[in-house]
Chains A and B, each alone.
Chain A
Amino acid sequence: GQSLEQPSEVTAVEGAIVQINCTYQTSGFYGLSWYQQHDGGAPTFLSYNALDGLEETGRFSSFLSRSDSYGYLLLQELQMKDSASYFCAGLRGSTLGRLYFGRGTQLTVWP
């Protein structure tokens, strides 16, 4: 089956660094991706790890360890606009490519 666990809430102040962890139990799993969703909006793609290691994209970085079934999203130099929900999602199936999402982490950035 597909199960991705992440913390429900995280709070931080502007300029800080925050890490959102994701542990998973997913069969036939090709990689881990991260999405941002503001209230009532469309999820937007942030990062994807197909291989173990760190991927860096501007202020956001993502890490994957397949042996530990674990990944994280690192957000640096936090800004107020980063307040949103963050979802990890496992990619299953090379042909159909289904994404299965975690429950999401609500990040609140305080001034």
Chain B
Amino acid sequence: GAVVSQHPSWVICKSGTSVKIECRSLDFQATTMFWYRQFPKQSLMLMATSNEGSKATYEQGVEKDKFLINHASLTLSTLTVTSAHPEDSSFYICSARRGGGTPDGYTFGSGTRLTVV
């Protein structure tokens, strides 16, 4: 089956530093990848949609200069949290879409727990 690898699974960083999170589709090509943010006991909030070779589309209220997304290949998308602050601490999850647009074609990564101290 389709597998999406997300790395790292957890990271602790100091306030003011930047953190990069990778999302890879291991056995399929993903023309579209999505990034979500999830607070404890809360919903997955869509942050941005990235298409290979083009600029990401950010949801309203998401700072594109703070959350840099790069989708350089059909199997890799990265999210960089720049100048991280404690309020950026959260669980970040990526999703990769293969084939058509129905939800059974979306595979989620296992998430990255970011803690900013």
Contacts and interface: CB of A to CB of B under 8 A. Distances in A.
Interface of A: 30-31, 33, 40-45, 48, 50, 87, 89, 91, 93-104, 106
B101 A104 contact: no
Contacts of A99: 34, 46, 95, 103, 106
A43 B111 CA distance: 9
A93 B110 CA distance: 25
Contacts, number: 64
Contact of A101 (B43, B51, B102): B43
A105 to B, nearest CB: 11
Contacts of B57: 96
B101 A91 contact: yes
A45 B103 contact: yes
A104 B103 contact: no
Contacts of B84: none
A98 B46 contact: yes
Nearest to B108: A42
Contact of B108 (A40, A44, A93, A97): A44
A33 B104 CA distance: 9
A50 B102 contact: yes
